[in-house]
Amino acid sequence: MTTKLHQFLLLSGLLALLPACSSINLNPFGADSADQSRGPYNATEYICEGKGRFHVRMLNNGNDAWLIYPDHEVNLPKSGSDYRYSSGAITLVINGAETTLNDGEKIAYTNCKPQEKVKQ
């Protein structure tokens, strides 16, 4: 009889702890909303006229601009001048507050301003 009582108490204790587990994220690839609000690590956020926004991470000593959209990322190699990066259909010109991004016919952002980087 005592074994059944011990099993019952153990099961009751485990069930009582289940709500505490809901705050634990076991997905190593997932991110909570606080992480997403900070933006990608080591990237500059640009906010543009018309509320467009994107992130850029510079790579390879400034020879590549890694363009980070909310749902995908694209590498843009330097193309010609020091400020122009292009993959053919996508062109990013970084020139302070005059930064522009043209992604074919889908996206045309102008007057994009870099935001201060958040230390992580």
In this structure, is residue 97 part of a structural domain? yes
Domain that holds residue 46: 42-114
In this predicted structure, the answer to whether residue 63 has a pLDDT above a threshold of 80 is yes
d(CA 104, CA 84): 15
The mean pLDDT value of the chain amounts to 78
Strand partners for 64: 59, 77
In this structure, is residue 4 part of a structural domain? no
In this structure, is residue 100 part of a structural domain? yes
In this structure, is residue 51 part of a structural domain? yes
Say which CATH number the domain at 104 has. 2.40.128
Q: 70 or 36, which is more confident? A: 70
d(CA 47, CA 16): 47
Does this model's pTM top 0.75?
no
In this structure, is residue 52 part of a structural domain? yes
d(CA 70, CA 86): 19
Q: How many domains does the chain have?
A: 1
pLDDT, residue 15, reads: 59
The string of pLDDT tens digits covering residues 64-112 is 999 998 888 999 999 987 799 999 899 999 988 789 999 887 778 999 9
**Quick check: 112 and 101 in contact, CB under 8 A?**
yes
In this structure, is residue 76 part of a structural domain? yes
In this structure, is residue 36 part of a structural domain? no
